[in-house]
Structure 1
Amino acid sequence: MWLYRGAWGLALGAVLCLTGLPLVACATAPSSAALPVAPVALPAAPTLPAIDDFLRDATAERGYPGAVALILHDGKTVHAASYGWQDLAHTRPMRRDSIFRIYSMTKTVASVAALMLMDEGKLGLDDPVARHLPEFSKLQLFTGGSAAAPQLRPATRTLTVRHLLTHTAGFAAGGEGFEAVTQLLEQHRVREVDTLAEYAARLSQVPLAAEPGTRFRYDSTSTETLSRLVEVVAGMPFEQFLQQRIFTPLGMLDTGFEVPLAQRARVVELTTMGDGATLVLADEAHARAPGTALRPYRSGAGGLYSTADDYGRFAQMLLDGGQSHGVRLLRADTVALMLQNQLVHTALPKPVTEFSDAEGFGLGGSVLLDPALKGRTAAPGAFGWSGAASTYYTIDPGKKLVAILMLQHLPGGAQDLPRISTRFYNLVDEAIHP
């Protein structure tokens, strides 16, 4: 689902919505062949010289093909610029409104959807998941053996909504010592489904790798289950809920699970490192056909396309305590809870992620605990996450700052491009608070 840009598209959307038609209709565009859509010229924006220099260098020859950066401080845009190219052939310059696969940055959006239902009293952080998804009522725990002959016992801890939001559900998400139970996950072909309902049904038949709340293991399984829970509790498809309750109120016109044909020239090519340290097009169906769905079902864990400006509106809403231009999506205390390290409420030996002792995890994103240990100059409490194809965002409440960096590259290989997010964030800090 997608809202068309331009005056005609906005007028049509307004008419449909005012006539009381379902918001699915408001989000469904006419045939692109019948209605070509001209791009909207975005207003000129300020730039920060240090960021410009850094990203021009990062997108120079043998660097990333292109990038878009957006920095918001105290509610104002202080930097918005594009660099390099959308494509490997260097025929399409990167644009500020270029469209990116944001992969796991989708997880924060799905988390907000669940928290909106919590604000309405329809869901609780410590609700048993089985209260809303009965298929999870008889979870088994893998205790040993092999995938062919697993040893199981009933799980003793209750799987809760909080566990889904913090990646502590205990699902078979890989890792050393969990190879056999991960094979069971693969045998159930959990990811080879067309709907979130079928995803949850298959996942519920796979034994847990750990008791809920005892292990942090980042993966898609928790957020896909959370997305199915949103569907059930809200009584509407997950995609429709996001469109109606988040994208439309925030004016996120270019965010959705597929890109309309008329807009696909704005989708950035997805690269990876090939032989000889040369960038090549990634071997993904949606890389060969940009704008098509990233997964066969509407994935809350990694299915969205978006732009820097759209995600900036979403992040600024969180920085502003859950509201945007007079429209409230979340209560301020719910946002405050979201941005706190929730791993302190689990049975983990240490309330930190598997990636670093410098960060915990809130409700849908990481929370910076020790900036020096992480190599960051941000204030403690900075919140954010990234996407698999090198898209990044951070929300720093202490500095009233949102910083977004959009690249489109799948990392991999010893000769890969350098990671630049930490340096980018630190340069932003230096520019805003020298």
Structure 2
Amino acid sequence: MTKNKINSPLSCPILALTCFALASQTAAAEPSFPELETLIASADSNLKIPGGSVRVVEDGEIIFDRYFGTFSEDSKIPWDEQTVVAIASISKSVTATLVAVLVGEGNLSFDDPIAKYLPEYAELKLQNSDQSIRSPTIAECLSHTAGFPGGTMGKLPKNSPVKRGDQAEVARHLATQGLAARPGTQYAYTFRGYAAVSRLIEVVTGRPIAEVMREKLLSPLGMNETTFTLGVSLVRRLPLFASRAEGRSDEEVAAQIERYRAERGPFVNTAGSLISTPNDLQRFLQFHADKGLVGSRQIVPASVLARLYRKQPATKNYGLGFNLRGGGVVGHGGATGTSASADLKTGRILIVFTQAGSLNARPLISGAAKVMYP
């Protein structure tokens, strides 16, 4: 059986070894899981899932890697190892991990009230009430128990201030809307807590959230193709947008991207707008499986990361940015039809990518999880 390993950015000081490592990433893995092959064959024949990929990693080595289909029903672009995807809510796990980095550095605490950094949250009220309530904590924001109303950005009206403002304006707007419940008492899945925390990070660091994410987490982990920012080359490799770029020059695609940015406003949705690759998410999950180590460097204390995997009050199976499957398995899914998980006890990693939507991708994702985490 051929095994491939994604090397950490700190583990290959010699250029020749680096080149070898990069070449090995794309080498084909031998079939090892007939149940997965059956699931993929079924998905490949299902027109609701035009294309996708499934990767399994054990002990840091790729033992199963499959790419199937095309970007869309109408596209002839094959889904392969160069494909990048909108990972949607898997972004929450990445953002929560960034918070863990800052906690490990002593810049903040999971239990800090967000009003400590964002004064607009010091005098919150319950919606439709004059009752004053306390500020939610960072942990409550990351576990969807801060008291914000549930809902995703996609459900907001086009003229919502959230879709026009920057991080600071969005955080202030959310504070003026009040909370739907007292912090720590109810679970309501939403982007809002992450919006507040992303602004808090900007206040603490004095820098834009995307820059902090790159410097503190993505670059140290070698996640060089994970980003909030669309570029021409990435758009051509991104199934959700590639069809719009086919047959167009780079200049035309760049103009399309600028129009898209203008329509969406400057707000960076850290709860759902990252794009990434299997290689990068493997690095991310391996980092968690290795308890915060990258090579010989401890990026985050293991004790700090462990807080992310602790079931939070008022939730059924949610930590801080991670769903808790049980038995040591943690991860997250995305509305675009993506899933990334790791068994922290065995080190096994499962990454399933489609862009077909969570409902259409559910049989593949849940089926693969049952095979990998029986």
Q: Is TM > 0.5 for Structure 1 vs Structure 2?
A: yes
Matches within 5 A, 1:49-128: 49-50=33-34, 51-128=36-113
Q: Which runs of 4+ in 1 moved over 6 A?
A: 185-188
- Structure 2 counterparts to residues 8-407 of structure 1, below 5 A: 42-46=25-29, 47-50=31-34, 51-142=36-127, 150-155=128-133, 157-173=134-150, 189-269=160-240, 295-296=264-265, 297-343=267-313, 348=314, 351-352=315-316, 360-369=317-326, 380-407=327-354
CA contact (8 A) 2:47 2:73 kept: no
Q: Higher helix fraction: Structure 1 or Structure 2? A: 2
Unaligned runs of 5+ in 2: 1-8, 10-21, 243-252
Deviation at 1:417, TM superposition (A): 6.4
Distance 1:40 1:198, change over 3 A: farther
Which deviations, in whole Å up to 9, do the C-alpha atoms of 1:384-428 show, x marking residues without a partner?
Answer: 11111011011111222111100002356xxx5653211111122
Pick 1 or 2: higher relative contact order, CA cutoff 8 A, min separation 6.
2
CA distance in 2, matches of 1:214, 1:266: 42
Question: Mean alpha-carbon deviation: is it higher for 421-430 or for 115-124?
Answer: 421-430
1:67-121 per-residue CA deviation (whole Å, 9 max, x = no partner) reads 1112111221111221111232241111122010111111111111111111111
| Counterpart contact for 1:270–1:389, Cα < 8 Å | no
Following TM superposition, by how much is the alpha carbon of 1:290 offset from its aligned partner in structure 2, in angstroms?
8.0
RMSD across aligned positions (CA): 2.9
- 1:258-314 Cα deviation digits (max 9, x unpaired): 23213322111379xxxxxxxxxxxxxx9xx68966953211111111111111111
Structure-1-length-normalised TM-score:
0.71
Instruction: Indicate conservation of the 8 Å contact 1:255/1:310, yes or no.
Output: yes
Distance of 2:182 and 2:190 partners within structure 1? 16
Q: How many residues align structurally?
A: 336
Q: CA deviation at 1:329?
A: 2.2
CA–CA distance in structure 2, aligned partners of residues 190 and 81 of structure 1? 42
Q: Which range moves more in the overlay, 43-52 or 187-196?
A: 187-196
Task: In structure 2, give the amino acid aligned to 1:48.
Answer: S
